[in-house]
Amino acid sequence: MATEDTRRPAATAVQDDPVTAQPLAVTGVAAPEADEEDQQDELYEHFNLTVDRGQAMLRIDKFLTNRLESTSRNRIQTAADSGNIIVNGKAVKASYKVKPGDVISIVLPYPRRRLEIIPEDIPLNIVYEDDHLMVIDKPAGMVVHPGHGNYSGTLVNALTYYLQGLELFSEGDMRAGLVHRIDKDTSGLLVIAKDERTHAKLARQFFDHTIQRRYLALVWGNLPEDEGTITGHIGRSVRDRLKMYVYPDGDAGKHAVTHYKVLKRYGYVTLAECRLETGRTHQIRVHMEWLGHPLFNDARYGGDRILKGTTFTKYKQFITNCFTLLPRQALHAKSLGFTHPATGKHLHFKAPLPQDLKQVLEKWDTYITNRPDFED
């Protein structure tokens, strides 16, 4: 029986640093997890490994279990069953025998984070549900998962109550079922996995950028083109750790791409549809701010004051009224499309406009219709 050569490291695992996007090279173990605030919105890990020339043939599930710290063999096998282990460009099964020089890529949902999760009977707006997954329309103001200062009232608390009979939601995992997330004050669609295999397969789709996500965003000013693409690495701001920052030269942060299309121009603000190619923290918010068009009433990125418009009192009162109706950034995850991990069928969902954003858009419609009256 082949035995592992222990005279030298058999592989180097490389994981992107969530803050700098520089490779973290570690021998035989996975890179340590970054602070919660430094992670991207897509909740998966990606490792690249090259098998050392001194490595004897060994089942890949055992090989990876030995190399990736705190990663169980069952988790590795689930990844293989889901097609998430790629060797030399091809998906392999857990029984595949690694060979010297093999280049391995593996995508895993983030490891479980143990925490005492209190099940809470919080109403959920369930758009779709079957035995494998759910699609939720999250209201603005709800935190997706527990964290500093938010240990109750989160979506995970609600899911732990609603799905308390399922294994995935019975072990106090603070990210149970989550493959991606949206900000507390952003409304809209999220897909939730109900089992490990579905979780792994959805993670792969996010990694491969085959998930279709579109957002509605109301931004300050007139966007320069009817359609455009914003490309700029996103990382934590060195001046304010609560904010993200665009590093245009790619010297820090992670590659990020946002496509936008103008839906309606109101003169001083623009309604746009944004399509995410990548899923970085605050991506649309920070990309639009970098373009010079912060989201309407986005306090973190400077959109909570009058940036465009007149000096007339009526206009100032109009903006104040809009901010009162919509006390958050004007961002809504309106549509979500993906391939069902079990059936292979393409699913696509749309979420209606939340009442607060709908009312503000109606006010802007009235404003441009009666604009002379506001400028008396």
368 Cβ partners below 8 Å, 6+ apart?
Answer: 266, 267
User: Three-state SS for 364?
Assistant: helix
Q: Containing H/E element for 129?
A: strand 126-129
Chain centre to alpha carbon of residue 213: 10
Which residue among 16, 183, 185, 195 is the active-site one?
A: 183
Q: Tell me the backbone φ, ψ of residue 203, rounded to 5 degrees.
A: -60, -40
User: Three-state SS for 64?
Assistant: helix
- Calculate ∠ Cα 73-78-82, nearest 5°: 145
Integer CA distances (angstroms), 247 to 111, 251, 257, 282, in order:
29, 7, 12, 14
Let me know if 183 is a catalytic residue.
yes
β-pairing, 331-339 with 90-91? unpaired
With beta carbons less than 8 A apart as the criterion, state whether 135 and 336 touch: yes
What CA–CA distance (Å, rounded) separates 326 from 137?
18
Integer CA distances (angstroms), 133 to 128, 157, 190, 192, 201, in order:
8, 17, 11, 6, 11
Q: Tell me the backbone φ, ψ of residue 316, rounded to 5 degrees.
A: -60, -40
What CA–CA distance (Å, rounded) separates 41 from 18?
11
What CA–CA distance (Å, rounded) separates 335 from 214?
5
Residues identified as active-site: 183
